[in-house]
Amino acid sequence: MPLGTLYLIPVPLADEAAAKSFTPYLTNTVNEINEYIVENEKTARKFLKEAGLKTPQSELIMHDYSKHNRDNSTVDFFKGLQAGKNVGLMSEAGCPGIADPGAGIVEKAHRMGIKVVPLVGPSSVLLALMASGFNGQSFTFHGYLPIDKVDRSKRIKELENLSERNDQTQIFIETPFRNNPLLEEILKTAHPKTRLCIACDLTSANEFVQTKTIAEWQKKVPDLHKRPTIFLIYHR
């Protein structure tokens, strides 16, 4: 029996951003499948409704891929795929597999010989890079920096040096309620001529994207508290 296809379904980055996030092909796809692997069932159902789902929600099969089930060997997310059914993978925001635990599902799908199809949609990391004006030929996404102040400051200097040595954009994030302390550390640690791009609330009505030198940012520091933000630094 032929195996099913795993579709990687992007979701909006912000509230009321459905029109910016869903393509006609994505809408057609979600109306052709009824089984999903999701991080959060409630929000996944909301996103599917916004995407134009016509299938009754009661007919959907939802597999919970939350952190409580991620390492549970008794949970089998692949029965439908092995039986020839097409299945969708959805993360909490943005593209599955990009700064997202869904990468584990994709990895296993490849090992099982299951076809994987990524659908077009918003990635905060790539949108921030596009808008930064920094090197888009060579870049690295580092995820979260250390929480400890000493380690974090050291890491910022390391990324700055990497950027200069390799002519490479360095990209990282923080938990939104820790954004302001991270920004404060960047402004204290980085060279005044290093350029910093702050990309905040992407695709939302309050979207904020600006690139300035560290010296320029020090003159007026934005409040990023609880606002999803991507940080990018570039020094050459």
pLDDT of the residue at 72 = 61
pLDDT of the residue at 74 = 46
- ∠128-94-202 over CA atoms, to 5°? 40
**Token match 């320029």: residue?**
216
The torsion angle over the Cα atoms of residues 43, 46, 51 and 55, rounded to 10 degrees, is: 120
Token pair of 87, please?
A: 């299945």
Kindly give the confidence (pLDDT) of every residue in the chain, 236 residues in length, as a single tens digit, with 9 standing for 90 and above. 799 999 999 999 999 999 999 999 999 999 999 999 999 999 999 999 999 999 999 999 999 887 666 666 546 899 999 999 999 999 988 899 998 889 999 999 999 999 999 999 999 999 999 999 999 999 999 999 999 999 999 999 999 999 999 999 999 999 999 999 999 999 999 999 999 999 999 999 999 999 999 999 999 999 999 999 999 999 98
pLDDT of the residue at 73 = 54
CATH superfamily of 124-234: Tetrapyrrole methylase, C-terminal domain (3.30.950.10)
In angstroms, the CA 98 to CA 103 distance is 7
Residues in the chain: 236
- Give the count of beta carbons closer than 10 Å to the beta carbon of residue 151: 11
Q: Are 202 and 127 in contact (CB under 8 A)?
A: yes
Question: Is the entire prediction scored with pTM above 0.85?
Answer: yes
The torsion angle over the Cα atoms of residues 127, 137, 89 and 24, rounded to 10 degrees, is: 60
Token pair of 94, please?
A: 């943005």
* Second-level CATH architecture of 5-118: 3-Layer(aba) Sandwich (3.40)
For 7, phi then psi, to 5°, come to: -95, 130
The secondary structure element, H or E, covering residue 143 is strand 139-144
**Domain assignments of the chain as residue spans, ordered by start:** 5-118, 124-234
The torsion angle over the Cα atoms of residues 110, 113, 114 and 115, rounded to 10 degrees, is: 80
